[in-house]
Structure 1
């Protein structure tokens, strides 16, 4: 298996994951955070507007309605075998990094080391107060109560440390990504992502230019599939454990 051989010989590896990886945990896939919405919401707004930073400020209850759907979906499922296989790869290869667009926290739950995990779209917990900054770890409890959730200390509106539409990417995560890209990667593996964002596609491009190995695991071909060294047209769940067993 060409991909297993390339990963076996590589020292610095980057695994890029998208919503397709968590689809096997039962989470729907969608542009932005993970497939719960396509097109217009029940409120007649595009999801990009309903689930945006400006909406959280203007109408916190409406924005939280959709954050809560996302939260319930993520809390209602768990990491799958592919998440655990990626964590295993990181144990075998101390210079293996994960760059994820997912906010479900499943990489951490599966044992990926936080210091080699770049959650470029943030995560759903712990919540924090937009007014006083107090941290509140009780996401699941708040989802059972009237929304939006309020701060116990100052009654300000709580929010998750997740990137909503029209918000900037987390500065530290971007810095880490650029620092690691500058060191170069011998192999880049993309899983369950269309890699449509420039900051997701750039590491693939850089590895290819430097002569590194690139592979994609995806049930459907994407705009980048043809340029990869290997395209595996399947779900990560079907191939990741087998792949890691050969390394």
Structure 2
């Protein structure tokens, strides 16, 4: 019986077009807590719904306090071996795109080009105007937060919010369409650290399977999708992927 890194490396080596789909589990090894586990983000603080952010100055103040105090740990962390292994596979031409539910920017920080990362839940490392989509860097907004401002766009006066997709906020249509297209075009779809419970993103491995892809799920715990996956590995992502990349030919 082959070991897990060898088996996964064999699938990657033989595929034509692999897609990697990542969830919170790949970033826990960088010290970022996941959302739903005991001690996770939502056990420490309640989510702020999009409609509450838009309608309540108090909720916007709380949201910006969380951004700059960083209780979720989304910013400032460093990529781990799992992120670097995925970046290596992209650079080797084995992985065509990285679809991620994470908002921590760690795939880009590990060296994956922006145009290869599809962020279906947004990005916590910068902000955008909700009206005109003007991008703002967080460091440029920090003095306005420190001054107690209700942060609005200097161009159109629309509300400015981090680029994270909040509960109740519409999913980014272009990114989801691209993610579904990538899933359908793949012949190998590798899930790394997603519980596969949040839809519509959790539908992506199903799309890949239906269009003929081999599906691999690497996650600490079982998922509802394990039954149709071709390979399921309950193990740490970083060590597995580092060893896997070393075996890819």
Q: Same fold (TM over 0.5)?
A: yes
Equivalent position of 1:234 in the other structure: 235
Q: State the shift of 1:198 in Å.
A: 3.6
Q: For residues 132 and 202 of structure 1, do their structure 2 counterparts lie closer, same or farther at Cα, with a shift above 3 Å needed?
A: closer
Q: Give 1:8 shift.
A: 0.6
CA distance in 1, matches of 2:116, 2:40: 26
Specify every segment of 5 or more residues in structure 2 that has no aligned partner in the other structure, as ranges: 1-5
Equivalent in the alignment of 2:41:
36
In structure 2, C-alpha distance between the alignment counterparts of 1:96 and 1:186, rounded to whole Å: 11
Give the structure 2 partner of residue 56 of structure 1: 53
SS of the residue 2:35 aligns to: coil
Q: Are 1:75 and 1:140, in contact at CA under 8 Å, matched by a contact in 2?
A: no
CA distance in structure 1 between the aligned counterparts of 2:179 and 2:132, rounded to whole angstroms: 29
Shift, 1:35, TM fit: 3.0
Contact 1:123 1:162 in 2 (8 A): yes
In structure 2, what is the equivalent of residue 118 of structure 1?
A: 118
How far did 1:133 drift?
Answer: 5.1
Query: Aligned residue for 2:136?
Result: 136
Aligned equivalents of 1:137, 1:113: Cα separation in 2: 19
Using the TM superposition, give the Cα deviation of residue 187 of structure 1 relative to its aligned residue in structure 2, in angstroms.
0.5
CA offsets per residue over residues 4-57 of structure 1, 9 Å max, x none? 1111111111111001110000000004xx93122x73xxxxx24xx2111212
In the alignment, is the contact (CA less than 8 A) between 2:83 and 2:107 conserved in 1?
yes
After TM superposition, which residue ranges in structure 1, 4 or more long, deviate above 6 angstroms?
A: none
Deviations for 1:221-242, whole angstroms, at most 9, x for unmatched residues?
Answer: 2222232111111111120011
Once the 2 structures are TM-superposed, how far is the Cα of residue 176 of structure 1 from its aligned partner? 1.2
Instruction: Give the 3 Å change call, closer, same or farther, for CA 243–160 of structure 1 in structure 2.
Output: same
Q: Which residue is equivalent to 1:196?
A: 197
Taking a change above 3 Å as real, the CA distance of residues 131 and 198 of structure 1, as seen in their structure-2 partners, is closer
SS at match of 1:96: strand
Give TM-score scaled by structure 1 length.
0.84
For 1:159-238, list aligned pairs within 5 A. Answer: 159-182=161-184, 184-238=185-239
Distance 1:69-1:164 versus aligned 2 partners, 3 A rule: farther
The structural deviation recorded for 1:185 is 1.1
> TM-score, normalised on structure 2?
0.83
2:153/2:159 contact within 8 Å kept = no
TM superposition shift of 1:110:
0.5
Cross-structure match for 2:21:
16
Contact 1:218 1:236 in 2 (8 A): yes
Aligned length: 237
Taking the aligned partners of 2:9 and 2:23, their CA distance within structure 1 comes to: 21
- SS in structure 2 of the partner of residue 55 of structure 1: helix
Q: Which residue of 2 aligns with 1:44?
A: none
